[in-house]
Amino acid sequence: MPGFELFGEQERKQVNDVLENGVLMRYGFDGMRNGHWKAKELEAELENTFQSKHVQLVSSGTAAVSVALASAGIGAGDEVIMPTFTFVASFEAIMLLGAIPVLVDVDDTLGLNPQAIEKAITPKTKAIMVVQMCGSMANMNAIQQIAKKHNLLVVEDACQAIGGTYNNKPLGSIGDLGCFSFDFVKTITCGEGGAVVTNNKEYYINADHYSDHGHDHIGNDRGAETHPFLGYNFRISELHAAVGLAQVKRLPEFLEIQRRYLNIFKETLSKIPEVTLRTVPEGGEESGAFFNFFLPDLETVRKVMQAFKNQGIDACWNYFDNNWHYIRKWDHLKQQKSLFPISKEVKEGLKYLETKTFEMSDHYIGRNISCLIKLSWTEEAVKTRANNMAEIIKTVL
């Protein structure tokens, strides 16, 4: 991760196909295309990759979450349970629909804590949004049992975990709906783009229409298409899809590199008694996009992070003080800072954030160090890096 590090002839060829026929829009202009439909081709490839019946490409991972929720009828006043550790897009996508994000604790998987989900369920709860952060997964069996018990939708955000699996099923294909991002720093990139994945035909049709102004996409005359319901513009372009089409065909190559490097980091740092590896649920296999581990306390983590910086170890983060990925710094959400008036339902629904604390999340996020695994590294460089990290940690301890 990320796939742009290995751009080559495959990506250039796919993009040149689009530039040569001149059709950058994914819909219409059939006569000009010379048979090139990059978005459709990418959707077919992703159906195979995700072992799912339906894939709808959209403009971003954020759009994918909003489109997925909307396609299942989630909207004004509905509560969607989500983790405290994710990307800000998670609550943005929920609030875009007038729904209420209900944040709950994560555990040592760095994913949703099942017990915290149970405690957060109310009569307004309509969905559980699981975010598979940093290449791995939450305890999906337990979460699915809770969802079944309470008749809740499971929306699986696997934007950072493409290629990971749980009980031999691709992450993103396990819930009722899955969401992916193909932005510039993802394992496979379109530059910008995303996808909604589902086995539910109704949800797929809704996502297809909703993401393109409500167009029903029936027939060959775009101007004659009807609009069964309101929609918006969350379309991907042919140029973006072309890059993704080349990248998805290289996913096995990328995963082999990531997992090989991940194992080097695990084998090297796990020899330190004070280092605890992130918990991967039984039956799970990480994508290898990140290496995650815990140290005894936040103070030690901060000292190690400073030592990493001093010694030139980049691409490692402690998310406790991070503006993008953890609840502690989301003051704009807590204070409901918005350019437009927030609905009464959402205002009331977010009041809990004025006093709510997340001790369990603080415990795990404060002690965690997450390291990006770059595809452009050599194996020798990874071994050197892992050994240097181990020596720095031992020195600090």
Q: Average pLDDT of 180-191?
A: 97
Least Cα distance to 117 among 83, 88, 94 occurs for: 83
Active site residue 337: no
The pLDDT confidence band at residue 339, using thresholds 50, 70 and 90, is very high
Can you state the angle between helices 9-21 and 38-49, rounded to 10 degrees? 140
Q: How many CA atoms lie within 13 A of 47 on its CB side?
A: 13
5 exposure class (CB count in 10 Å sphere: 0-12, 13-18, 19+): middle
Tokens of 133: 């952060």
Q: How far is CA 274 from CA 268, 269, 393, in A?
A: 13, 10, 9
Q: Are residues 335 and 353 in the same domain?
A: yes
Q: Are residues 259 and 221 in the same domain?
A: no
Q: With contact defined as beta carbons under 8 Å apart, do 15 and 38 qualify?
A: no
3-class secondary-structure state, position 391: helix
Tell me which of 250, 266, 300 is where a domain ends.
Answer: 250
Q: Average pLDDT of 76-99?
A: 98
Residue 6: its pLDDT value, please?
Answer: 97
Q: How many CA atoms lie within 13 A of 298 on its CB side?
A: 10
Q: Are residues 231 and 283 in the same domain?
A: no
Q: Are residues 172 and 262 in the same domain?
A: no
Q: Average pLDDT of 78-104?
A: 98
Give the domain CATH number at 201: 3.40.640.10
Q: Are residues 174 and 318 in the same domain?
A: no
The pLDDT confidence band at residue 201, using thresholds 50, 70 and 90, is very high
Q: Are residues 169 and 89 in the same domain?
A: yes
Q: What DSSP line would sit under 251-263, residue for residue?
A: HHHHHHHHHHHHH
Q: Average pLDDT of 64-68?
A: 98
34 exposure class (CB count in 10 Å sphere: 0-12, 13-18, 19+): exposed
Number of domains into which the chain is organized: 2
3-class secondary-structure state, position 311: coil
Q: Residues 3-36: pLDDT tens digits?
A: 999 999 999 999 999 999 999 999 999 999 999 9
Q: Residues 131-167: pLDDT tens digits?
A: 999 999 999 999 999 999 999 999 999 999 999 999 9
The pLDDT confidence band at residue 239, using thresholds 50, 70 and 90, is very high
To the nearest whole number, what is the mean pLDDT of the chain? 97
Q: Are residues 243 and 274 in the same domain?
A: no
Q: Are residues 262 and 246 in the same domain?
A: no
Q: Are residues 187 and 65 in the same domain?
A: yes
Tell me which of 250, 276, 293 is where a domain ends.
Answer: 250
Q: Is 22 left (phi over 0), alpha (psi -120 to 50) or beta?
A: left
Q: Which of 38, 126, 186, 266 is catalytic?
A: 186
Q: Average pLDDT of 238-256?
A: 98
Give the domain CATH number at 331: 3.90.1150.10
What span, in angstroms and rounded, lies between the C-alpha atoms of 270 and 299? 20
Q: Are residues 355 and 242 in the same domain?
A: no
Least Cα distance to 101 among 72, 69, 132 occurs for: 69
Q: Are residues 175 and 295 in the same domain?
A: no
Q: Residues 251-271: pLDDT tens digits?
A: 999 999 999 999 999 999 999
Tell me which of 235, 250, 265 is where a domain ends.
Answer: 250
Q: Are residues 213 and 294 in the same domain?
A: no
Residue 243: its pLDDT value, please?
Answer: 98
Q: The domain containing residue 56 runs over which residues?
A: 3-250
Query: Which residue matches tokens 């459709």?
Result: 40
